[in-house]
């Protein structure tokens, strides 16, 4: 009887390891480039879809805690590529004399990682 119990326990343990969830899901983000007033530079905003809060600073930061600054739009797009995001589409939105460019990205994550 002990042998049967031990074998059942071993089988149950092995089957638990075999059922890891390796399902992949796609996540999307948007990079927005807004021109700065009286400057040739742009402000880059990356929207990962998280909830925005007035009380919490959700801006992108370097490893040392400083704000992440991009030199150009291409610098921001290259940053996203290094992070594994895949470019989908870009489109401009014009409001008066200001044109804001939007860049869509996607990335696959394992369901267990989220």
**In this predicted structure, what is the pLDDT of residue 6?**
47
Rounded Cα–Cα distance for residues 56 and 36 (Å): 23
Helix residue ranges per DSSP H, the chain: 2-18, 73-82
**In this predicted structure, what is the pLDDT of residue 55?**
79
**In this predicted structure, what is the pLDDT of residue 104?**
96
SS3 60: coil
Residue with the bigger pLDDT between 9 and 82: it is 82
Q: Are 105 and 86 in contact (CB under 8 A)?
A: yes
Rounded Cα–Cα distance for residues 89 and 28 (Å): 11
Q: What are the respective helix, strand and coil percentages of the chain, to the nearest 5?
A: 25, 40, 35
**In this predicted structure, what is the pLDDT of residue 10?**
57
pLDDT in tens, 25-84: 999 999 999 988 888 888 889 898 888 777 777 778 888 988 888 888 999 999 999 999
Residue with the bigger pLDDT between 1 and 110: it is 110
Does pLDDT of 9 surpass 80?
Answer: no
Q: Among 53, 47, 56, which residue's Cα sits nearest to residue 85? A: 47
């Amino acid at each position: 009887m002990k042998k049967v119990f031990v074998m059942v326990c071993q089988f149950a343990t092995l089957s638990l390891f075999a059922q890891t969830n390796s399902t992949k899901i796609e996540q999307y983000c948007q990079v927005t480039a807004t021109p700065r007033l009286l400057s040739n530079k742009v402000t880059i905003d990356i929207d990962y879809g998280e909830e925005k809060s007035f009380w919490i600073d959700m801006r992108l930061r370097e490893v040392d805690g400083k704000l992440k600054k991009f030199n150009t739009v291409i610098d921001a797009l290259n940053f996203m590529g290094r992070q594994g995001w895949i470019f989908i589409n870009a489109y401009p939105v014009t409001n008066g004399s200001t044109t804001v460019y939007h860049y869509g990205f996607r990335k696959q994550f394992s369901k267990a990682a989220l």
